[in-house]
Structure formats: C-alpha cells, structure tokens
C-alpha cells in the first residue's frame, strides 16, 4: 500500500508491511492461544494500557487504515480462492457485536463476505445435531464468514439454562455429567477439521463489564431510536451473570488453541474493541500468506496480443 492520503499524522507514512506488523503485536496481547491456565479475571473490560491516551481521532484514523488493509487482504483471499476465514463473535448482550461487525467489515467487498446470526434453533434445526445449522452456513473458499453467535451457544446459554438442553430431545442416556466437556472436545475437533480443510477459525469474546451493560441497557430505554434493541428478557438474564462468566471461562480454557484462538477483547470502549478486532483479523489473514494467483507467461503473451487487437480496432 502506498502512503495514506488524507492525513498529516505519523500514521500516514507507515507502509503496509509495518501496519501488519503493528497489528500483530497489538492483537497478540488479547490472544489466548492455548487456553491452558486461562483466567477471565486476569482480563480487563477496559483498556488500561493507555495505548491511545484517549485520543479518539488517532484511534479512528488507525481503524480506518486497518479497514483499508483488511479490504486489500480480502481481495487476495478472494482471488486466491483456497482459504476461507470464519470469524466468530460471542458476548453478553449489548457488548457491541453488531457494531464491531459493521465497522470492521465496512471496507470489504460484500461479495466476499457472509454474515450469519444464530438465534434460538427452530424446529427443523432441533431435528438435527447442533453443528448442522452451522455447517450449512460456513464460508465458501475465498470468503470471510462471520458468525454472530454460533455453536458456542451450546456451551453458554444451553449450559446456563439446562432446560434448553432438555428441549433438544437428545437421548437421555447421552446426557451425562461430562456433556459440556464432551461438547467442547467436539468443537475443538470440529475446528481442527475445518482448518485441515482450509477454513481458519478465529473467535472473539467481547468482554463487557456488568456495569457497562447496565448503562447500555438504560441508554436503550432512554433513547427512542434504540428502543427496538431493548428486550426485557435480556435484562432478566443479568441475574445469571456470574454463571455466564464461569461458562465463558471454561469455554475459552477448553476451546482456545494456537490455530483457532480466542481473543478476549475489552469491550467497555467500543472504538478500542473494534481496533483490536480489526488488528486480529489482519493478523489472521497475514498468517495465510495470501498472494494473487500467478499468471503464466503464455497467458501474459495472450493478454498483450488481445490488447493490441483491441487498440487496433477501428
Ligand atoms: P442483539 O444484541 O441485537 O440483542 P442477539 O445476538 O442477542 O442480538 P437476539 O435475537 O436478541 O440476537 O438473540 C438471539 C438469542 O438466541 C440469544 O439470546 C441466544 O442466547 C439465543 N441462542 C442462540 N443460539 C442458541 C442455541 N443454540 N440454543 C438456545 N438459544 C440460542
Ligand atoms: Mg439479544
């Protein structure tokens, strides 16, 4: 990438290579890798690193650059048509999943991107195993797929509310005390399987604090334009906050791997969270060593000939 046009700051002079390297270093701090010994309480819901010193414009500019780099990388992913990238977003309500997806993906070509939001399963979906509906919506080669919620709900909401498990009509003999550990093992294997078939899976937990969630719910009530987003059931779900946090911790411990890591994103500051997500996606795409397909010498000769013919047209 050349120099960035509309800015005077230091950022405008950074090469694409340097940006990618900064994105890697920046996102690594929030990457869990192998989940062994993971403790959620070691991770803040707000950024304490003082990285941007509350400089909003610098943060916006960095995000804008990140979005441009990401779009250029997606173009190569699409042209190469071999790898696909699956981004999974999980969070408590009002943590900012929708906004993060909207902003971070704002620059990418819609043709190369597929978003899918998972709600409570319908009757047809409940007639199958829980991965079935996810399998059907995996990204095609060359695409970025986004799961807004995912099969991870099966070890989150279903674990917190065991009556949901009962409604799944699994043979009772299979519902044992090991069911959650077994599900996490199956998910790990499923993601290994996807990787071995050319789909890289990267997972984001947007880590919002209990207090910030309360604030955002109140805002949804106070602001008429946000009323549609408010759901009374979401507020009641706050009673289960600690149970959810334990489920998240266990899930990340057991399903974060070096190849398919969880990122624990401090989500109390939306702009900062988006920056981390963008950086992590750039990092993931960079790991795929993407390149435009090489064109053979014969093909180039053919193109030159065609150009001459076009120019010679009367
Ligand atoms: P928003 O932030 O806009 O509320 P959302 O992702 O919460 O977005 P909703 O339609 O409010 O979307 O909620 C989807 C609901 O579906 C969540 O409460 C989630 O827990 C539930 N859900 C998703 N997957 C499952 C599942 N496998 N079993 C049961 N419930 C599920
Ligand atoms: Mg909701």
Atom of ligand 1 nearest to the CA of 148: 6
121 CB under 6 A from ligand 1?
Answer: yes
What is the CA(153)–ligand 1 centre distance, in A? 8
What is the CA(124)–ligand 1 centre distance, in A? 17
95 CB under 6 A from ligand 1?
Answer: no
Name the pLDDT band for 2 (thresholds 50, 70, 90).
very low
Name the pLDDT band for 204 (thresholds 50, 70, 90).
very high
- Select the more confidently predicted residue: 59 or 39: 39
What is the CA(237)–ligand 1 centre distance, in A? 12
What is the CA(149)–ligand 1 centre distance, in A? 7
120 CB under 6 A from ligand 1?
Answer: yes
The answer to whether 252 and 42 have CB atoms below 8 angstroms apart is no
d(CA 26, CA 262): 15
229 CB under 6 A from ligand 1?
Answer: yes
Nearest alpha carbon, ligand 1 atom 4: 93
261 CB under 6 A from ligand 1?
Answer: no
CATH topology of domain 8-312: Rossmann fold (3.40.50)
What is the CA(62)–ligand 1 centre distance, in A? 31
d(CA 259, CA 202): 8
- Select the more confidently predicted residue: 301 or 13: 301
Residue 50's pLDDT is: 61
**Domain spans, the chain:** 8-312
DSSP letters of 131-197?
A: THHHHTTPPPTT-EEEEES-GGGGGTHHHHSHHHHHTT---GGG--TTHHHHHHHHHHHHHHHHHHT
Specify the pTM: 0.93
Residue 52's pLDDT is: 63
154 CB under 6 A from ligand 1?
Answer: yes
Among the ranges given (152-161, 190-199, 289-298), the one the predictor scored with the smallest mean pLDDT: 289-298
* Whole-number percent of the chain with pLDDT over 90: 86
Name the pLDDT band for 53 (thresholds 50, 70, 90).
low
């Amino acid at each position: 990438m050349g120099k960035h046009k509309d800015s005077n700051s230091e950022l405008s002079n950074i090469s694409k290579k340097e940006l990618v390297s900064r994105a890697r270093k920046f996102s690594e701090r929030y990457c869990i890798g192998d989940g062994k010994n993971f403790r959620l309480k070691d991770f803040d819901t707000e950024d304490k690193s003082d990285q941007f010193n509350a400089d909003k414009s610098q943060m916006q500019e960095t995000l804008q650059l990140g979005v441009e780099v990401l779009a250029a990388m997606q173009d190569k992913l699409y042209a190469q048509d071999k790898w696909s990238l699956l981004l999974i977003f999980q969070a408590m309500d009002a943590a900012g999943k929708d906004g993060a997806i909207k902003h971070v993906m704002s620059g990418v070509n819609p043709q190369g991107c597929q978003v899918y939001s998972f709600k409570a399963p319908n009757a047809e979906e409940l007639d199958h195993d829980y991965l079935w509906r996810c399998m059907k919506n995996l990204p095609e080669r060359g695409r970025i797929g986004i799961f807004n919620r995912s099969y991870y709900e099966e070890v989150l909401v279903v674990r917190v509310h065991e009556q949901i498990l009962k409604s799944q009509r699994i043979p009772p003999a299979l519902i044992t005390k090991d069911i959650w550990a077994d599900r996490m093992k199956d998910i790990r294997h499923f993601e290994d399987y996807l990787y071995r078939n050319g789909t890289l899976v990267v997972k984001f937990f947007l880590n919002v604090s209990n207090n910030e969630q309360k604030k955002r719910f109140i805002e949804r009530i106070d602001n008429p334009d946000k009323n549609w987003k408010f759901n009374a059931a979401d507020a009641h779900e706050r009673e289960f906050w600690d149970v959810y946090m334990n489920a998240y911790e266990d899930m990340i411990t057991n399903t974060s791997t070096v190849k398919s890591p969880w990122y624990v994103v401090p989500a109390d500051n939306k702009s900062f969270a988006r920056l981390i997500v963008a950086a992590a996606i750039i990092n993931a795409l960079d790991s795929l060593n993407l390149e435009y397909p090489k064109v053979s010498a014969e093909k180039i000769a053919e193109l030159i000939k065609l150009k001459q013919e076009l120019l010679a047209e009367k």
